[in-house]
């Protein structure tokens, strides 16, 4: 009976680990729920604490989700940019990344690059930004830089996360296929 209990406990722990990994990956990657700030330095403590309280603000979360749906459900990138900027928190990695993504989809690569870099400045481990910026690099013909971004994603979340697989698949496509990601 003891071996059975140990096996059952081991199985339960394994299942819990499998359930927890996607939750952690999704949180680090970014999604329709914005993540809290990555760092909290003491010199910016007051400034950051004001911003971190907004993450719990239902109006902020609702506005973020609305902008997210505007991008991914309606593909209305110009409207999403305005919605995201209106949140007043475009220095957050999740928000800045979606602004960068929207500008990229509109074909404004210079502005898109600024927003991706702003997102990475806010959170150097923001996996979704590394992915989207890597796709930006591919669209610009910078395969070496896209590979660098892929390696960075691998360091942050491993090679099994969706962002890694997505960018790796894009890198596997032949140069000059004219695909926009």
Residue 89 exposed, middle or buried by CB count within 10 Å (0-12, 13-18, 19+): buried
Mean pLDDT of 112-140: 96
Q: Which domain range does residue 116 map to? A: 57-124
Tell me the pLDDT tens digit for each residue of 52-103: 445 678 999 999 999 999 999 999 999 999 999 999 999 999 999 999 999 9
**What's 97's domain CATH number?**
1.25.40.10
Q: What is the rounded CA–CA span in Å between residue 127 and residue 130?
A: 5
Phi, psi at residue 70, to the nearest 5°? -60, -35
Give the number of other CB atoms < 10 A from CB of residue 123: 22
Same domain, 157 and 111: no
Q: What is the pTM of this model?
A: 0.72
Please compute the mean of the pLDDT values over residues 23-33 and round it to a whole number: 48
Is residue 10 very low, low, confident or very high in pLDDT (cuts 50, 70, 90)? low
Q: What pLDDT does 16 receive?
A: 60
* Residue 65 placed within a domain: yes
Query: Residue length, the chain?
Result: 181
Q: Does a structural domain hold residue 36?
A: no
Using pLDDT thresholds of 50, 70 and 90, give the confidence band for residue 4.
confident
Choose the weakest-confidence range: 14-18, 70-74, 75-79, 124-128: 14-18
Together in a domain, 132 and 118:
no
- First-to-last alpha carbon distance for the chain, in angstroms, is 55
């Amino acid at each position: 009976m003891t071996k059975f209990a140990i096996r059952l406990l081991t199985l339960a722990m394994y299942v819990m680990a499998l359930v927890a990994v996607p939750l952690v990956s999704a949180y680090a990657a970014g999604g329709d729920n914005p993540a809290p700030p990555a760092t909290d330095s003491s010199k910016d403590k007051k400034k950051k604490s004001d911003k971190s309280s907004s993450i719990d603000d239902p109006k902020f979360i609702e506005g973020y989700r609305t902008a997210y749906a505007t991008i991914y459900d309606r593909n209305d990138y110009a409207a999403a940019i305005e919605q995201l900027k209106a949140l007043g928190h475009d220095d957050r990695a999740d928000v800045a990344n979606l602004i960068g993504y929207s500008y990229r989809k509109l074909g404004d690569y210079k502005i898109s690059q600024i927003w991706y870099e702003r997102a990475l400045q806010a959170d150097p481990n923001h996996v979704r930004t590394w992915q989207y910026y890597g796709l930006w690099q591919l669209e610009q013909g910078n395969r070496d830089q896209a590979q660098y971004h892929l390696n960075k994603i691998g360091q942050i979340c491993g090679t099994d996360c969706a962002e890694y697989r997505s960018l790796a698949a894009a890198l596997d496509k032949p140069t000059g296929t004219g695909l926009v990601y």
